[in-house]
Chain A
Amino acid sequence: MADTSDRSPITALLGDLQDGIPGAADRLARAVMFDVRRLAERAMQREAPGHTLQPTELADEALLRLLGMTQISWQSRAQFFAVAAQTIRRVLVDHARHRRRLKRDHGVRVTLDDAIAMAAGGDVDVLSLEDALVRLDALAPRQARVVELRFFGGLDIEETARVLDLSPATVKRDWTFARAFLLNALSEAPT
């Protein structure tokens, strides 16, 4: 496939997003979605069965490809990962569902937060995680968003706080709670 995408639109979209221009987030998401999806699909095709993916590395890779070595601001970077996080989550889940339909037994596993992964016995089944996240989202949407940004976008507490416009202390509390919630949910789920 010919890569016709110019690099500047992403930078411009990030600028728009920061300036609060309506629709910027959607347009950025579409641009990011395309590249992240392509990367993720390729990575998954090449992986050996049963191997795990590191979603945040996909986001890193996507950012580098889209922006090259262009210096972008800390805020733009966080915004980018916030958008990429949703995309990566969707790509992983779609892919896992597809696999399940094909009845490939090993599913898709990802390496996320270390504590969760280790407690769950290595890494985490994408669909079980998605189920747990959907449940969390219904009850506590803010905490679910924190998880999405930290797990799939690789944002740290400080960055998550800025993106969601919360205090770092709140993010930390949400994160601690959400982590316990998910770990509990995952240990109940059949693997």
Chain B
Amino acid sequence: MTVADDASAAARFERLEALFAQALEISPLARDAFVSAQTDNDAVLSRELRALLIAHERSESLSGIAQPTALESDADLGMRLGAFVVGRRIGMGGMGTVHEATRADAQYQQRVAVKFLRRSADDAVAVGRFRAEQQFLASLQHPNIAALLDGGVTPTGTPYFVMEYIDGEPITTWCDARQVRVRERLRLFRQVCLAVRAAHQRLVVHRDLKPGNIFVTAEGTVKLLDFGIAKLLDDAIIESGLETPVTAFGQQAFTPEYAAPEQILGEAVDTRADIYALGVVLFELMAGRRPFTLTTSSPFAMAQQLREATAPRLAHTLDADRWRALGERTSERARRRLSGDLDAIIGVALRADVARRYASVDALLDDLDRYLDGRPVAARPDGAWYRTRKFVARHALETGAGVIAVASLVTGVILSQQQARRAEAESARAREVTSFLTTMLGASNPESFGKDITMRAVLDSASRRLDEQKLSPSLDAEVRGIIGGTYLALGELTVAERQFTQTLAVQRRSSPDGDYRTARTLSQLSLVHESNGRYDLADTLLQQAERLYARFPHPDALQEVAALENRGRVLYRLGRNPEALTALRAAFAVSRARGKADDPAMAATYINAAVITSDMGENVEADSLAKRGYEIARQAHGDDYPLVWSAQAVRAGTLDRLGHADEAEALLRAVLEARHRILGETHPEYAFTMFNLADRLLRGGKWAEAADLSRRVLKLRGISIDDTHPAIAVSMQYLGRALGHLDSVAVGERWLRESLALRAKILPPGHWLLASSESAIGENLVLARRFPDAEKMLLNAEARLKDSQGDKAPVVRDARTRIVALYDAWGKTADAEKWRGILNAM
């Protein structure tokens, strides 16, 4: 190769790189056209660039932030879908490929876009989302939103829909190419806001607003595209019970550069996430660049960065030649045009704290209009917005159009099913309540809710009316109890708590000493505190409930069972296992005495009792309890019911502890497969099974696979498992121990110490898990041959574990096994023999 060849190769490569970077700036839908336009006489360059873009989309889709991208060949070319014939591919979006299509009957020329979702057998989540998108778009008719024309499933089973073909450009490119001036840009942006507002009024959050999804046609009309991840929030809750909302975290497809911090963290998002994205778009539309450059790919670090950053002032961020694009005559004029209240508006839209952002698109529109009219905007520090902020914050739940908050429903390890089941029951009842409340409380005009009435809307309206009206105390308490229970099922803890507290106050007035109604409210209120992690408070309430039920039996025995179950769960979470078991045994006694021993509702109670019994080392009893739970659940719901597999997971644990290691491992692999199938990749239960399997493998000496599974669990940290969830600390411990055995002792120790630090932060002092962590560190110290340190740590941990968990607990067995290993490695034969004796006597 000659020097000249080298130079030209490098130049070519530089051009490839530049085009690649530019292509990433525009919407995936427009990339294909971009590549064609930029490389029209260079087939090699075109091929290379396309290959890189496909590789990029693959890597993005796999990085855990975006959805898997459907990378289909053009196999669907020429296929007929209803009245349309599918043509060439014009783009690839987050959810699938987009093809151009024309009407087959040729009655008139109509160009449309067909969006295919590549469906795989285990991709039920994506198919569900696709359908939601289809429903949503069909119901949403707005001049600034790309219209849905048709939709269905191809003969090979691929869902698709047909939408209006938008011949346009991203709003930013459109404006810059035409040197559109600031005020004109703001008017276009108003159109964007109006379209988003229309969606919000249908309780739909777009969640992926960005210039690449905001097109402007040649005629200057704004069109919002690609509602790939928007869905009907209310339908998701009402129709699918728990299934769909569970996907709300961990499965987001969004663009981090435009995403609000809460969205990046996978928290529940509402309409205010769109407000944030609109803020980024507005900034970019003016400045020609985005307000922040993300410098990390970790969600936590990203969110942290956004929390600490303040959007720079527009006038200070203009590139030297930006004034030309803005249609100004000098840079100075452009700067002057952009100084002032626009910064304040963008600042409020970009608040990292949701409660301090504009509460609705209306509020943002209002300020834009004030700005355009030359009136002072509310976003200014002395403006009305600040005065009303407190009020808005208080009423954020009423003003935000729709909130999916399901995290509270899926928190526990295995016990979470308990809550899920309860929520499911609440949700079924809530449907009846909805119609009841609509007529009872919205009686003046039931139609005013429209046909897409949501439970949230009814509840909010009902609580407002309840506050205004003076109902008889008993009716007021009754209705509030129902409303509170329904809010709880929706995960709206704060509102639920308010309703229960008021119910309690009313009930206390009519019956100062309390009765079974008070007891039920106390039990319901305890669920709020439990979901918030305030276990002590929950326990206090449940004790009161128990005392009341003892004197005033509830007509529905399952209510008493529920209170005892709740107490058992709370005590377990507090690490007080023997007392937890006592509470659950009381629950069984009540159910038996009142003819409810085989009620489907009891399955979860059996499973929970099995978990606790097994933790206490009574595995024969645990196994029979789990089996009972399995049978009841399977009988009532069939094989694809999540609770069935919770029971099997527990059984795997008991089998394991009874010494049937191979059966346990096989059962765990079956549970892992079933949960992946039923619940999906990002469901917490799936992660929990992974770490259960990691645990089994760890004890089987299969270090490498155990380390691998633990890493996979830790990757879900902040995605499907909350940072404070015990599974995180446990997985760190597993990883640390596995690494110790894989000859990475020092790195292993760091993981173990991080695990201990995390636990110390979460758990009350003296919790047995802290001792368990220390015992694991002791094991690592043995591997590092730091024997005296190891001895001190291991003996101390063993003593504390024995005290809190009983002499036969598996953790105590583990701790003693480690002590034997220590003395063996240290060469202290007598001590080793002594502990071997203690171990064998267990």
Contact = CB atoms under 8 A, between A and B. Distances in A.
B17 A140 contact: yes
B282 interface: no
A20 to B, nearest CB: 26
B9 interface: yes
A173 B17 CA distance: 9
B10 interface: yes
Contacts of A118: 62
Interface string A54-73: 00011011001100000000
Interface in A152-170: 156-158, 161, 168-169
Contacts of B58: 115, 119, 183
B747 A64 contact: yes
Given A115-B60, A180-B55, A169 B293 contact: yes
Contact residues of B: prevailing secondary structure: helix
A43 B748 CA distance: 14
B742 A119 contact: no
Nearest to A42: B743
Nearest to A182: B55
Interface stretch (A45-53, A75-83, A88-96): A45-53
A131 to B, nearest CB: 16
Nearest to A175: B297
Contacts of B293: 168-169, 172
B553 interface: no
A119 B63 CA distance: 10
Interface in A110-166: 113-116, 118-119, 139-140, 143, 156-158, 161
A43 B743 contact: yes
B62 A115 contact: yes
A61 B62 CA distance: 28
Contacts of B750: 60, 64
Interface string B260-301: 000000000000000000000000000000000111110000
Contacts of A140: 10, 13-14, 17
B17 A183 contact: no
Categorize the interface residue count of chain A. Answer: 35 or more
Nearest to A56: B747
A122 B62 CA distance: 12
Contacts of B64: 114
Given A114-B64, A115-B59, A180-B53, A46 B743 contact: yes
Contact of B55 (A58, A158, A187): A187
A8 interface: no
Residue of B59, B63, B744 with most chain A CB atoms under a 10 A cut-off: B59
Contacts of B620: none
A18 interface: no
B19 to A, nearest CB: 10
Given A47-B704, A118-B62, A139-B10, A180 B20 contact: yes
B59 A179 contact: yes
A57 B55 CA distance: 27
Contact residues of A: prevailing secondary structure: helix
A177 interface: yes
Contact of B13 (A114, A139, A161): A139
A57 B739 contact: yes
A60 B64 CA distance: 25
Interface residues of B, number: 35
B704 A48 contact: yes
B104 to A, nearest CB: 36
Contacts of A177: 17, 20-21, 52
A173 B58 CA distance: 17
B55 A184 contact: yes
Given A43-B743, A57-B739, A169-B293, A180 B17 contact: no
Contacts of B20: 177, 180
A61 B52 contact: no
Given A61-B746, A179-B56, A180-B53, A114 B63 contact: yes
B24 interface: yes
Interface in B156-209: none
A34 interface: no
A115 B13 CA distance: 23
Contacts of B715: 114
Contacts of A156: 295-296
Contacts of A157: 295-297
A172 B257 CA distance: 13
Contacts of A176: 21, 24, 56
Contacts of A58: 744
A187 B297 CA distance: 23
B51 interface: yes
Interface of B: 9-10, 13-14, 17, 20-21, 24, 51-56, 58-60, 62-64, 293-297, 704, 708, 715, 739, 742-744, 746-747, 750
7 A-B pairs with least C-beta separation: A115-B59, A184-B55, A180-B56, A183-B55, A64-B746, A168-B295, A139-B13
Interface of A: 42-43, 46-48, 51-52, 57-58, 60-61, 64-65, 113-116, 118-119, 139-140, 143, 156-158, 161, 168-169, 172-173, 176-177, 179-181, 183-184, 187
27 contacts: A43-B743, A43-B744, A60-B744, A60-B747, A61-B744, A64-B746, A114-B63, A114-B64, A114-B715, A115-B62, A115-B63, A119-B58, A119-B59, A119-B62, A140-B14, A140-B17, A143-B17, A157-B295, A158-B295, A169-B293, A176-B21, A179-B55, A179-B59, A183-B59, A184-B52, A184-B55, A187-B55
Given A42-B743, A43-B742, 19 more contacts: A46-B742, A46-B743, A47-B742, A60-B744, A60-B747, A61-B744, A65-B746, A113-B59, A115-B59, A115-B60, A156-B296, A157-B295, A168-B293, A176-B21, A177-B20, A180-B53, A180-B59, A183-B59, A184-B51
